[in-house]
Structure 1
Amino acid sequence: MLPIISAGVAPGAALLCYFYLHDKYESEPFSLVFKMFITGLLIVFPIMFLQYTMHHEIIISSHVFEAFVETALLEEFSKWFVLYYMIYRHVEFDDYYDGIVYGVAVSLGFATLENILYLFANGLDTAFGRALLPVSSHALYGVIMGYYLGRARFKTKASKMPWLLMSFMIPFLLHGVYDLIILSFADNWMMMMIPFMTFLWWLGLKKVKLANRRSRKRNLVFMNQSKRFKDPPA
């Protein structure tokens, strides 16, 4: 049991640390980040119940429906809902990159428990592939969702809506494409997945750079550093 739990937790913890430490100007309170991670973990159970009910009560034999509705819509909307109502107006959400940190925390909480449950059902042999694909893809959906929430957070009231819409729609569409590749290309899905994951990592890391570049605290940090160099020693 312990090896499976360790293998299930390790990739999510590593990715969360990676994105947490890429905040160049001010780290978020770890207690709040951990709270969002646990919240992401807890929403696995209602989502699984809804997916089970939908799969057995709404009998639509379609890969598109399964990928975009049963999976992507339920999972990404649930994560978006948690972020919007628990973090979006929180006092600690005071910079663009903060959205990425909290988005990744919720997404990886979800992905970590999902990963543990999958490893219990299918064994440790699948752990490496799970870390490379589902866990990392969830982290990147969280990056993109959080980036656009961060853009919305600091827009005027009249111009928030397009950014809020993108914060849900883009991760939702990317997640749907990911699942559609797996469902539709049973024999050679990896040939499609490699370029898709390459694009997803490129897009996620681009949002990380943009969020840090747009930081509301960047100029303040540079001003403090310049002042320190200019001030004569006491």
Structure 2
Amino acid sequence: MAINLSLAGAGVLQALVYLLFIRSVDLYEREALRYVLPVFIWGFSVAVVFSLLFNTLSAVTLTEVASVDQRVVSFVTAVFVAPVVEEFWKGLAVFIVFLVSFVVHRRRGVVEFSGVMDGIVYGSAVGFGFSIVEDLLYYAQAGPETFVVRRLFGGFAHAAFTSLTGIGVGLIPWVRYRSLKVLLPLVGLGGAMLLHGTFNFMASVFGPAAYVVLLFVLAGYAVLIAAWLWVERRVIRNELRDEVGGSISAAEYGILPTYFRRTLYYARLFFTGHPIEWHRARQVHAAAVDLAFTKRLSRISHAAPQEYRLRYLRGRIAEHRGAGASVYEP
């Protein structure tokens, strides 16, 4: 079946908009696109290719070797095989980006991938990449109506599944014991497979009712995201309190924990013709937020002493400040 390029392009654009939206929800420590985009690309390339290969091999094995009825093969593949295969290959991207970011930034004083929100961003990125190609394959097989329905109602499905893997990986720096550092990613991966399998079971047995279940799942994520952002805000407030008068001013401390006050401050600088101060303030504040999370993580983990990282971040704040960054005035 021929694919309407305009409709397919709209689907790809939708996936990119979803990706940028999820990244923007990470209010306090937004992930760099140089990490997010490769994960998205992995989703629609490596993850799709290997998942299609193993899913097909499994279906052929069940059909030819076990002589299973084709309807049963489709059900078993969708409910038991595809969730395991697809979540493994999508989750692998999340593990890789965590390791790469950890190695690259460890000596620079910043843990780039840490926490629930980061896990959701990376898990969603690979999920959005995977889902657009999967939906295009459904388009080729079942027509544009199926493609539109899957895009409108299921565009967040794979993102929701793999976000559980991302959360498990993102919590590694936040737990003290090595056993938990190993267990949490495995629990997250297992949860992603289970949620994926449950959704596919609902879709196979009850059809569109699966999207109702997905809606409740997304509502749960919204609550989780709000709770984690509250945790991050408390971390920033608590950890930067003793930096006042040193790395940051009292006025800066007043706006740093509150995303919207910071945003209004940046807007005021930018639209009143102070682009240099706007850029400098953003750099100073980003380094201060990194300092807050690094201080918190240094007390939680049993990693090597991180005092040198704290000194590095304080030095980076001073370097970005230069001759003196603008300070918020109530």
User: Which residue number in structure 1 is paired with residue 269 of structure 2?
Assistant: none
Q: With CA pairs under 8 Å and 6+ residues apart, which has the higher RCO, 1 or 2?
A: 1
Larger radius of gyration: 2
Distance 1:54 1:62, change over 3 A: closer
Amino acid at match of 1:159: L
* 1:88-141 Cα shifts (integer Å, max 9, x gaps): 462321444212111111111111221223223333333331123332111212
Q: 1:203 to 1:32 in 2, by over 3 A?
A: same
Q: Is the 8 A contact 2:169 2:185 kept in 1?
A: yes
Unaligned runs of 5+ in 1: none
Aligned partners of 2:83 and 2:196 also within 8 Å: yes
Q: Is the 8 A contact 2:11 2:132 kept in 1?
A: yes
Q: Where does 1:24-43 land on structure 2 (aligned, <5 Å)?
A: 24-42=27-45, 43=47
Superposition TM-score, scaled by structure 2 size: 0.61
- Residue in 2 aligned with 1:55? 59
For residues 73 and 328 of structure 2, what CA distance do their matches in structure 1 show?
71
Partner of 2:10: 7
SS across alignment from 2:219: helix
Q: Which residue of 2 aligns with 1:161?
A: 182
Provide the C-alpha distance between the structure 1 equivalents of 2:44 and 2:18, rounded to a whole number of angstroms.
15
Number of aligned residues = 229
Q: Which residue of 2 aligns with 1:103?
A: 123
- Is the CA contact (8 Å cut-off) linking 1:7 and 1:127 kept in structure 2? no
1:86 equivalent in structure 2: 97
Whether contact under 8 Å (1:40, 1:107) holds in the other structure is yes
- Whether the 8 Å contact between 1:41 and 1:110 is mirrored in structure 2 is yes
Deviation, 1:155, is 1.4
Where does 1:77-226 land on structure 2 (aligned, <5 Å)?
A: 77-88=88-99, 90-91=101-102, 92-156=112-176, 157-185=178-206, 189-190=207-208, 192-215=209-232, 218-219=236-237, 223=241, 226=250
Instruction: State percent identity of aligned pairs.
Output: 22
Equivalent in 46, 49, 53 of residue 45 of structure 1 = 49
Asked whether 1:71 is paired with 2:70, we answer no
C-alpha root-mean-square deviation of aligned residues, in Å? 2.8
Deviations 1:55-92 (A, max 9, x none): 01124536763233321111111111221133246232
Instruction: Verify the 8 A CA contact 2:90 2:126 in the aligned structure 1.
Output: yes
Maintained 8 Å contact 1:63/1:180: no
Pairwise CA distance, 1:228: 2.5
The structure-2 alpha-carbon separation of the partners of 1:20 and 1:173, relative to structure 1 and needing over 3 Å to count, comes to same
2:252 alignment counterpart: 228
Cα deviation, residue 143, structure 1: 2.8
Task: Indicate conservation of the 8 Å contact 1:97/1:211, yes or no.
Answer: yes
**Structure 1 residue 219: deviation in Å?**
3.0
Runs of 4+ in 1 over 6 A off after TM superposition: 229-233
**Alignment check: 8 A CA contact 1:149 1:167 kept:** yes
Contact 1:8-1:119 at 8 Å conserved across structures = no
- Residue 168 of structure 1: how far off its partner (Å): 0.7
- Kept in 1, the 8 Å contact 2:154–2:211? The answer is no
Give the superposition deviation at 1:50.
1.0
1:142 Cα deviation from its structure 2 partner: 2.9
